[in-house]
Amino acid sequence: MIIKPEISGVVARSAHPLGCEKAILQQIDYVKKAVPIKQGPKRVLIIGASSGFGLAARIALTFGGANADTIGVSFERGPSEKGVGSAGFYNNLYFKQQAEAAGRIAVNIQADAFSPQTKEDVIEAIETYFEGEVDLIIYSVASGVRPNYQTGEVWRSAIKPIGESVKGASISLEHDKWLDGELSPASDEEIEGTLKVMGGDDWEAWVDALINSESIAQGCKTVAFSYMGPELTHPIYLDGTLGRAKIDLHQTSHSLHLKLANFDGGAYATVCKALVTKASVFIPGLTPYLMALYQVMKQKGTHEGCIEQMQRLFTTKLYGVDKVPVDCERLVRIDDLELDVATQNEVAELVKAMNQNNFQQIGDYVGLKREFMQLNGFEFDDVDYQTDIDLQKLVATLSDQD
């Protein structure tokens, strides 16, 4: 079949396997040429490993100097009568292919990260492949819902302000159209649901399960990814439901840090740069900021994608250093280039001037949309998108290499 891009609003409904392979190869090529990770972990668990920061971390740790073996957990869908499958599904297969060709262990566990059974399956995999212990646990789960496996209810996250309504623009990537909107404040139930889905509760449950099963190696670290952003984005982000969940994540890092101190390890919330991810495009008011940020940082030569962020995190913050550098709130900051004062001043001016008539001209909308398309395997220059692909045969061939 010939696979074409399908977008509904800000959701990609299709993915191209050959483009996903190209994305994996490009990231591997970058980290092989970058400053290598020194004294890095050898046995890594990535919870949320199929895209974004989780996938980039997996690639960096495997190919960027640490030569790590990895177990990746993700909840992706393969091809079926309903569609071609998700980009993350193909990312997992192509990453495993490349990692094993390089002599590394790469285990993909396709399951719900929130499920107690998944935790048991991962512990079994750690026993089987890692001699029972992990050196690093990365928590990078982006989900809108979380089942409560004890009661059967479902918690749902809500991207809303707290206390009062907030006006902000979003972009329909389907129609390349600016959409003005206003978000009403979240209810108490929505705040609580967002905390349960996107806060630190499940991260702590994972670490507790690994501690209880004696799966933590001496010196083990755990990392979860966060975002704070400049004052410009605070009304919709830091001061809203998402920000409340991230604060909970930060607080969780402190309790986990005390627990891992027993193993001479540590827990860290890492504040990353604003980027186009499958999660970030859902946040109203953030897209104009992203377009302005990309425009300014590319002009300054300071723009980083997920893979550049992760390679820099592991080489300058978490490994090969005498002490992990943290701020006054004990957060690891890899958003330093984004929050540069001169950069933010220019970004604020662009956002102020941006509207429905000029956003494609004064912001980097082309770059933003291209990055979104490439998350799903499209718009790579050297991929032949007219190739007739037999998805079942392709998946069977990749799976036979397991």
Catalytically active residues are 237
Distance CA 3, CA 387 (A): 8
The dihedral of CA 254, 139, 239, 348: what is its sign?
A: positive
List 8's β-bridge partners, or say none: 11
DSSP 315-371: IIIISSSSS----TTS-EE--TTTT-HHHHHHHHHHHHH--TTTHHHHS-HHHHHHH
Q: Are strands 69-74 and 106-110 parallel, antiparallel or unpaired?
A: parallel
**The token pair that represents 398 in the structure block:** 């990749």
Distance CA 212, CA 210 (A): 5
Task: Cite the annotated binding site for substrate by residue number.
Answer: 227
Distance CA 58, CA 53 (A): 8
Task: Cite the annotated binding site by residue number.
Answer: 48-53, 75-76, 112-113, 141-142, 227, 246, 275-277
Task: Cite the annotated binding site for NAD(+) by residue number.
Answer: 48-53, 75-76, 112-113, 141-142, 246, 275-277
Distance CA 126, CA 400 (A): 22
Q: Which amino acid would we find at residue 92?
A: N
Strand, coil or helix: what is 262? helix
